[in-house]
């Protein structure tokens, strides 16, 4: 079993981005909006801000109270849409219940939607046209590329069908001409679906739900889950019993750092497209 080292791949990507940023006359700018004080979200936003500084981006971290009105949040996005220093806008999800996340996402200018969640960018992904693509699935594709394994025709099972990961992940794999099955936490006989999976992407958010003996020998296992369990972080896959996989991503140090490095990659693309 070989480890796909997300920290190392992400560092290489950040170094590549930093080299491209140096000769630019203006630093690419990313604005990250955090509503409320969810501790996990605050940690992610802090990592994004730190990564921006490392590669030489201009970064704005905008904290808003959890009781912000819908209109005030939309006004903030409109301000950033019109701010020439800003190439990418990200609103950290989830949002408090009184806010309409879809409306918030649709208000972000599609050319600044570095999360790739706007319907225009999701539509382009669906049609395999160039556009800003969701960071986690795009980062997973970069990680898969490092294994050197050809995806064409392979059986891929994506477990989880969220807008942020599962759905765009399935589309990325389909665009790479793989054979894709999308499962979710309610799938009947999930182990049966996994039996023939050459590539498994787990993104259900349930600690160790996928047992090692469900994984086919020689499979590639990508674990997107980040679950807090007894004061440590575990994935959706039971890492310790999946030793017969050919490749596996650890948690932490797997997909997480790649999501953030890919956000930087998208911000640089948004900068170049806007120029």
Residues labelled as active-site residues: 48, 92, 115
Question: Binders of ligand GUN among 217-246, rule CB under 6 A?
Answer: none
- Report if residue 93 touches ligand GUN, rule: CB under 6 A: yes
Give the residue at shortest CB distance from ligand GUN.
Answer: 93
Contact by Cβ (8 Å): 4, 223:
no
92 is a site residue for ligand GUN (CB under 6 A)? yes
Please tell me whether residue 51 binds ligand GUN under the rule CB under 6 A. no
Q: How far apart are CA 88 and CA 263, in angstroms?
A: 9
Peptide bond into 94 cis (omega under 30): yes
Binding mask 133-172 for ligand GUN (x = CB under 6 A): --xx---------------------------x--------
Q: Would you count residue 115 as binding ligand GUN (CB under 6 A)? A: yes
Query: ∠ CA 16-19-24 to the nearest 5 degrees?
Result: 130
We find the least distance from the C-beta atom of residue 105 to ligand GUN, in angstroms, to be 9
CB 169 within 8 A of CB 137: yes
- By beta-carbon proximity to ligand GUN, the closer residue of 114 and 210 is 114
Question: Is 62 one of the binding residues for ligand GUN (CB under 6 A)?
Answer: no
Distance separating alpha carbons of residues 260 and 262, to the nearest angstrom: 5
Smallest gap from residue 38 Cβ to ligand GUN (A): 10
Cβ–Cβ under 8 Å, residues 173 and 155: no
Binding site for ligand GUN (CB under 6 A): 90-93, 115, 135-136, 164, 259
């Amino acid at each position: 079993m070989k480890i796909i080292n997300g920290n190392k791949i992400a560092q290489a990507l950040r170094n590549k981005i930093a080299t491209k940023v140096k000769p630019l006359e203006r630093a690419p700018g990313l604005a990250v909006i955090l509503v409320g004080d969810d501790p996990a979200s605050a940690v992610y936003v802090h990592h994004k801000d730190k990564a921006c500084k490392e590669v030489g981006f201009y970064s704005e971290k905008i904290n808003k109270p959890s009781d912000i009105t819908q209109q005030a949040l939309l006004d903030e996005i409109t301000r950033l849409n019109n701010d020439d220093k800003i190439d990418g806008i990200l609103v950290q999800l989830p949002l408090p219940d009184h806010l309409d996340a879809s409306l918030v996402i649709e208000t972000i200018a599609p050319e600044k939607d570095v999360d790739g969640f706007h319907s225009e960018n999701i539509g382009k992904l669906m049609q395999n046209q160039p556009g800003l693509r969701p960071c986690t699935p795009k980062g997973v594709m970069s990680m898969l590329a490092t294994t050197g394994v050809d995806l064409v025709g392979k059986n891929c099972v994506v477990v989880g069908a969220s807008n942020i990961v599962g759905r765009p992940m399935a589309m990325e794999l389909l665009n790479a001409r793989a054979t894709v099955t999308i499962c979710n936490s309610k799938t009947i006989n999930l182990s049966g679906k996994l039996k023939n999976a050459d590539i498994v992407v787990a993104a259900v958010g349930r600690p160790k739900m996928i047992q090692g003996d469900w994984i086919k020998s020689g499979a590639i296992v990508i674990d997107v889950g980040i679950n807090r369990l007894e004061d440590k972080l575990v994935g959706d896959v039971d890492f310790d019993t999946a030793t017969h996989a050919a490749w596996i991503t650890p948690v932490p140090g797997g997909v997480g750092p790649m999501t953030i490095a890919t956000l930087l990659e998208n911000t640089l693309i948004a900068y170049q497209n806007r120029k």
